[in-house]
Amino acid sequence: MPLSLGDLATRFGCELIGDPDVVIHDVAPLDAADEHSLTFLANSAFRPKLAKTKAAAVVLRADDAAECPAAALIAEDPYVCYARMAAVIRPAPRHEPGRDPTAVVAGDADVAASAYLAAHAVVGERSVVGEDVYVGPGCVVGPDCVLGRGTRLIAKVTLVRNVQIGERCTLHPGAVIGADGFGNAMTPEGWVKVPQLGGVRIGDDVEIGANSTVDCGTLDDTVIEDGVRIDNLCMIAHNVVIGAHTAMASMTGISGSTIIGKRCIFSGQSGTVGHITICDDVIVGAQGAVTKDVTEPGMYASVIPVEPAKIWSKRLARLRRLGNLHKRIARLEKGDD
Amino acid sequence: MPLSLGDLATRFGCELIGDPDVVIHDVAPLDAADEHSLTFLANSAFRPKLAKTKAAAVVLRADDAAECPAAALIAEDPYVCYARMAAVIRPAPRHEPGRDPTAVVAGDADVAASAYLAAHAVVGERSVVGEDVYVGPGCVVGPDCVLGRGTRLIAKVTLVRNVQIGERCTLHPGAVIGADGFGNAMTPEGWVKVPQLGGVRIGDDVEIGANSTVDCGTLDDTVIEDGVRIDNLCMIAHNVVIGAHTAMASMTGISGSTIIGKRCIFSGQSGTVGHITICDDVIVGAQGAVTKDVTEPGMYASVIPVEPAKIWSKRLARLRRLGNLHKRIARLEKGDD
Amino acid sequence: MPLSLGDLATRFGCELIGDPDVVIHDVAPLDAADEHSLTFLANSAFRPKLAKTKAAAVVLRADDAAECPAAALIAEDPYVCYARMAAVIRPAPRHEPGRDPTAVVAGDADVAASAYLAAHAVVGERSVVGEDVYVGPGCVVGPDCVLGRGTRLIAKVTLVRNVQIGERCTLHPGAVIGADGFGNAMTPEGWVKVPQLGGVRIGDDVEIGANSTVDCGTLDDTVIEDGVRIDNLCMIAHNVVIGAHTAMASMTGISGSTIIGKRCIFSGQSGTVGHITICDDVIVGAQGAVTKDVTEPGMYASVIPVEPAKIWSKRLARLRRLGNLHKRIARLEKGDD
């Protein structure tokens, strides 16, 4: 949606240095923006690109404004301000109400007139599809699910059964919500499946990435609170609770019954064991393994960065001779007596 | 299915302390069970909850029975006993025989009259769908596949081609079985694909989690034996053999041609290199990397638990100075001569 | 397609030792091949199997030919030569042109007459499906996509929107291309989504594995160059560039805006942080974490192989007392003065 710089400044509470009547049609990176585009400078590392930008306007901090060759929109947090402006200038595509003739809907499902069901979508028994909901092509909404107002299943999302999703959520393709948790009891004859009877409750404004999985609870529900952001290929096991506004980068795995606080951040390929509690405001580094309760906010890590393989191989050998080192030092200390 | 305590005790061989005529309608956790519900106590850590439970009956060990405020069903392994009872009290949903009008079935496919094909299911050429099989919404059964009696594809499962699945298996949404293995031969001009011509053979009573992948063999088949349990987002590469009753938690990756024994357990985010053999009864810890043959049963690990990032950063620096430490000790030892 | 040994030798430039009129109908492993089958010996470790093979012919190196009990096709790189022959003897299945009546195609999509759209395939607005393209069952091609000549989406592939794919590519089931990148800006009220407006550009001869995800760029495109091979369950984040002929084994994760050179190899469960650059010809070992720029070709690693859990537990304890060791050595050194 085209907007004048004056409108943008007013709407988002920025100071504008420049012509308020210039109209913005698009957003673009600093080095590709043209005279109809808005761009931003959030990271000083990109300052050299600022001088050369051909953008109509740049969202930036006050102390970068002097060097801006275009109109400047001053913001305390230019990245957040840009994100909000971009969502207005280039809004997510709207759907028409209705349903594709190939959608299959159970007779007792309750689909709002303003919702859209795309090609080959399926809605199961007793499920409720709220106002302005978008159920993309090939999505399966199983029985006893609820989709709150404005929620969007992009494509091929599966809600197995008994999944409640709040308002304004986005689930990306291939996400599977509400599949059976991995509950098995060992016997001499092999594994006995523990029936997985709970559901999944997801709050408002949650985003779940492509091909991520959130299992149903065993008896209670698995819970994802408001504002949580889950990237692609993540795994949330049965009975996990994820606190509001926590974010998980790709390939994070949370084992069963673990309780995670609010505003935590899990970096890529990190994971936790099951049945632990992690407090609010914990940041876990890439590939980090959380193996017990975390009770103090802060950053946690255990990653070993790669090194040339020959060097790593020596280091590993030395690590394995540490016991020998301990003994030799003890001997030396004794000798010193 | 409602069952009396007397029926449960008889059917599952438990001693009952309490009124045999009380009828159980549901199962529930210790702290949420009501007077119509069965619950269980398997882990003594939850004993404090036992005294307060409002359940009709509790499955527990003999030595916990004295403290049970409700009827008690005595079992040696209460978790297994509860799992079996729960499967009867709350059975998996049954399907009607038939097929949704949107299912697409090849003319020469052989679909049993008692099977059900859900909305938008696809069954390919020459495939056999056995008695009581459930092919859920959006599943694709490619050509030359066989589904044994009672097997269930929950939704959006893909069997690419030449996949044989035994009886009573459950495949969760998004699982992909029989895709091409990752076979590539390097040439100066780039990779040449090695045709992947084998299939996948899966035994009876196997469960495969959401969005997991099992590739076809290159020439032979990839094999998953009876009773194997695979969690979500796992990867089983071409020509792998997984022994009976082995279990793999989420995000486990098994590389090509590796042979895994019976009753092994792989914890989350663990993995193996290719072309190795792992004997029976091996347990691999979370994030463990198995890089060579394992010939002795037992527990194996290499995880480094997270620590506060500052502490970890120092530890990593010290690890990198280990060579220096070795030299200094050698020097000290020499000086002691 | 049956081919005589003479034809094979001529077509692939091999020396043939044996009867040129023998006809090959199939390919098989050394120990399962019969008198109509071609096999190969690429790895000397399998030489003991050579003497016993019942194959019609074996592709092998000149210095293995003397021990070959069957006809021999001499090749410098027998694995590559075999791969090329196998692709002719057992070609990938061809599709007929046309479309299944259940396919849903937007009015303004441009689908070549030689393309095939399988059951429940969806092609969105303004998308172009080129000559000889195969869109398998349940695939969703969103709006504004382009599929180059001969490209095959096996089944249930999702191209979200604005995805360009070159010629002769293969995308395996469950792959999701062009979903939103994980762009979020933190505010005191929670995460604000950064609109993801770029696309994905994929070159020629690229293969992408089952359930892998390639996110769209934030403003620019995510780029995968010619000949790249990506295994199952990999994650390519927004704005990543992957150089030609790079290969990634299963569960590799590349974080946002990272630039990867040509002919790199990432082993299973490896990953990189975001915003780094990795030069050409880098090999990253299993579970390796690349945390900064790599400017020298070569092998990099940081994996810790599993050990018996008791041994590992001691090693970990020693690793944690390294600081103490450092202190004790310093004290000893002082005492020696």
The beta-carbon neighbor of A174 closest among C211, C269, C287 is C211
Contact, A188 vs A171, CB < 8 A? Answer: no
Chain C residues whose beta carbon lies within 8 Å of the beta carbon of residue A232: 176, 179, 182, 213, 215, 235
Question: B181 versus A45: which is more confidently predicted?
Answer: B181
Q: What is the mean pLDDT of residues B299-304?
A: 97
What are the backbone angles phi and psi of residue A335, rounded to the nearest 5°? -60, -30
How many angstroms away from the CA of A137 is the closest CA of chain C? 7
Count of other CB atoms within 10 angstroms of residue B333: 14
Cα angle B298-B303-B309, degrees, rounded to a multiple of 5: 160
Cβ-nearest to B302 among C155, C251, C304 = C304
| Predicted pLDDT at C336 | 53
Query: In chain C, which residues have their Cβ closer than 8 Å to the Cβ of B321?
Result: 326
Structure tokens at B19: 């009124």
The SS3 call for residue A332 is helix
Tell whether the torsion through CA atoms of A238, A241, A245 and A250 is positive or negative.
negative
What are residue A82's phi and psi, to 5 degrees?
-60, -45
CB pairs under 8 A between A and C: 212
Contacts of C196 in chain A (CB under 8 A): none
Give C29 to chain A, closest Cα distance, Å: 33
Which fold, C3-89? 3.40.1390
User: In terms of CA atoms, which chain C residue is nearest residue B284?
Assistant: C306
Annotated domain spans of chain A: 3-89, 98-300, 307-337
Q: What is the 3-state secondary structure (H, E, C) of C180-209?
A: CCCCEEEECCEEEECCCCCCEEECCCCEEC
* pLDDT of A325 strictly over 90: no
Q: Are B127 and B106 in contact (CB under 8 A)?
A: yes
Q: Is the pLDDT of residue C272 over 80?
A: yes
Determine the topology of domain C157-300 in CATH: UDP N-Acetylglucosamine Acyltransferase; domain 1 (2.160.10)
Q: Which amino acid is at C335?
A: G
CB C277 within 8 A of CB C292: no
CA distance to partner chain B, nearest, from residue C233 (Å): 7
Closest CA to C319 of A297, B284, A311, B303: B303
> Which chain B residue shows the shortest CA-CA distance from A234?
B233
Adjacency order of strands within the sheet including C222-224 = C110-111, C128-129, C146-147, C163-165, C200-202, C222-224, C241-242, C259-260, C277-278
> Two tokens at C221?
């495109």
The pLDDT assigned to A337 comes to: 46
Query: Among candidates B283, B256, B285, B291, which has minimal Cα distance to B270?
Result: B285
- Tokens matching residue A197: 């009877």
Tell me: pLDDT of C227 over 50: yes
**Straight-line distance from the first to the last Cα atom of chain B, in angstroms, rounded to the nearest whole number:** 82
Spatial contact of B193 and C207, defined as CB atoms under 8 Å apart: yes
Identify which of B284, B272, B271, B279 has the alpha carbon closest to the alpha carbon of residue B295.
Answer: B279
Q: Report residue B271 CA to chain centroid gap.
A: 15
Output the average pLDDT for chain A: 96
Min Cα separation A69/chain C (Å): 21
CB within 8 Å: C304 and B289: yes
DSSP label of A245 = T
- A-B Cβ pairs (cutoff 8 Å, strict): 211
Integer Cα distance of A28 and A35 in angstroms: 11
pLDDT on residue C247: 98
8 Å CB contact of A269 and C271: yes
H or E element that contains C178: strand C176-179
> A275 with B268: CB under 8 angstroms?
no
Alpha-carbon distance B326 to B310, whole Å? 25
User: CA B121 to CA B135: how far, in whole Å?
Assistant: 7
What CA dihedral angle connects B37, B41, B42 and B48, to 10 degrees?
A: 150
Element (H, E) at B88: helix B78-89
Contact B286 A290 (CB under 8 A): no
Q: State which residue of chain A sits closest to B323, comparing Cα positions.
A: A318
Torsion of CA C256, A67, A76, A30, to 10 degrees: -30
CB contact under 8 A, C138 and B160: no
Query: And the tokens for A47?
Result: 């300052």
pLDDT tens digits for range A87-114:
999 998 888 899 999 999 999 999 999 9
Summarize the confidence of residues C52-76 as an average pLDDT.
95
Beta bridge partners of C207: C170, C229
Mean pLDDT, to the nearest integer, of C243-269?
Answer: 98
Chain A residues in contact with B92 (beta carbon < 8 A): 195
Identify all chain B residues contacting C205, using CB atoms and an 8 Å cutoff.
190
Q: Which residues from chain C sit within 8 angstroms of residue A82, using beta carbons?
A: 194
C321 compared with A81, residue with greater pLDDT: A81
Arithmetic mean of pLDDT, A37-48: 91
Q: Residue B205 CA to chain centroid, in angstroms?
A: 11
Q: How far is CA C24 from CA B69, B306, C10, C21, C199, in A?
A: 76, 57, 14, 9, 45
Confidence of residue C337 (pLDDT cuts 50, 70, 90): very low
Which among B140, B97, B103 has a CA at the least distance from the CA of B118? B103
d(CA B286, CA A6): 55
Task: Tell me how far apart the alpha carbons of residues B334 and A59 are, in angstroms, rounded to a whole number.
Answer: 66
Q: How close B94 gets to chain A, by Cα (Å)?
A: 13
Contact C323 B315 (CB under 8 A): yes
Smallest CA–CA distance, residue A146 to chain B, in Å, is: 18
> Is C95 among the residues known to form the active site?
no
Q: Looking at beta carbons, which residues of chain A come within 8 Å of B170?
A: 180
Q: Do C305 and B292 touch (CB under 8 A)?
A: yes
Q: Which of C36, C95, C120, C238 is catalytic?
A: C238
Chain C: residue nearest B232 by CA? C233
Q: Percentage of chain A with pLDDT > 70?
A: 99
Nearest Cβ partner for A318 among B77, B268, B323? B323
Please give the sequence-ordered ranges of beta strands (E in DSSP) within A92-147, or none if there are none: 98-99, 104-105, 110-111, 116-117, 122-123, 128-129, 134-135, 140-141, 146-147
Closest partner residue to A289 among B156, B303, B323, by Cβ? B303
Q: Where are the beta strands (DSSP E) in A142-203?
A: 146-147, 152-153, 158-159, 163-165, 170-171, 176-179, 184-187, 190-193, 200-202
Spatial contact of A142 and A161, defined as CB atoms under 8 Å apart = yes
8 Å CB contact of C176 and A232: yes
Contact C251 B271 (CB under 8 A): yes
* Mean local confidence (pLDDT), B147-152: 98
Q: Cβ separation of B195 and C250 shorter than 8 Å?
A: no
Residue in B83, B210, B336 closest to A179 by CB:
B210
CATH of span B98-300: 2.160.10.10
Whether B140 sits inside 8 A of C173 (CB atoms) is yes
φ/ψ of residue B220, rounded to 5:
-80, -170
From chain B, the residues in CB contact with A156 under 8 A are 138, 156
pLDDT (average), residues B283-302: 98
Distance from CA of B235 to the nearest CA of C (A): 7
User: B160 contacts in C (CB within 8 Å)?
Assistant: 154-155, 172-173
C118/chain A closest Cα distance in angstroms:
13
Q: Which residues pair with A214 in a beta bridge?
A: A177, A236
pLDDT digits (tens, 9 = 90+) for A150-184: 999 999 999 999 999 999 999 999 999 999 999 99
Residues of A classed as catalytic: 238
**Pairing between β-strand B152-153 and β-strand B71-74 as defined by DSSP bridges:** unpaired
For C326, phi then psi, to 5°, come to -55, -45
Q: Which residues contact B26 (CB under 8 A, 6 or more apart)?
A: B36, B37, B38, B89, B90
Concatenated DSSP letters of C298-337 = EEEE---B-EEHHHHHHHHHHHHTHHHHHHHHHHHHHHH-
Q: What is the pLDDT of residue B336?
A: 53
Nearest CA in chain C to A87: C195
State the pTM of this model: 0.97
Four-residue CA torsion sign, A77, A82, A88, A93: negative
Tell me which residue in C176, C271, C299 faces A174 most closely, judged by beta carbons. Answer: C176
Distance of alpha carbon C5 from alpha carbon B324, whole angstroms: 61
Contact B291, C286 (CB under 8 A): yes
Kindly list the catalytic residues of B.
238
pLDDT tens column, B86-126: 999 999 888 889 999 999 999 999 999 999 999 999 999 99
Model pLDDT, residue A247: 98
Write out the two tokens for B179: 């895709």
Q: Report the amino acid identity of residue C6.
A: G
Residue contact C176–A245, C-beta within 8 A: no
Residues of B in contact with A253 (CB under 8 A): 233, 250-251, 268-269
Q: How far is C258 from chain B (nearest CA, A)?
A: 22
> How many B×C Cβ pairs under 8 Å?
211
Residue C294 or residue C322, greater confidence: C294
Cβ distance of C195 and A90 shorter than 8 Å: yes
Nearby residues of A224 by Cβ (< 8 Å), 6 or more positions away: A200, A201, A202, A203, A206, A208, A214, A230, A236, A242
The amino acid at C330: A
| Least CB–CB distance from B176: residue in C120, C210, C306 | C210
Q: Note the residue count of chain C.
A: 337
Contact C194 A247 (CB under 8 A): no
User: In sequence order, what are the residues at sequence separation of 6 or more whose Cβ sits closer than 8 angstroms to the Cβ of residue B43?
Assistant: none
Sheet holding C37-40, edge to edge: C15-17, C71-74, C57-60, C37-40, C26-27
Mean of pLDDT values over B134-156? 98
Quick one: pLDDT at residue B337? 45
Q: Please state, rounded to an integer, the average pLDDT across all residues of chain B.
A: 96
Kindly determine whether residue C307 and residue B299, on different chains, have CB atoms separated by under 8 Å.
no
CB contact under 8 A, C155 and B160: yes
> Using 50, 70 and 90 to split pLDDT, how confident is the model at A299?
very high
Instruction: For A170-228, write each residue's pLDDT tens digit.
Output: 999 999 999 999 999 999 999 999 999 999 999 999 999 999 999 999 999 999 999 99
Residue A336 above 60 pLDDT?
A: no
Q: What is the pLDDT of residue C165?
A: 98
| A319 contact residues in B (CB cutoff 8 A) | 319, 322
- Write the pLDDT tens digit of every residue in A259-269: 999 999 999 99
In the DSSP assignment, the letter for residue C21 is T
Say whether B86 and A158 touch across the interface (CB within 8 A). no
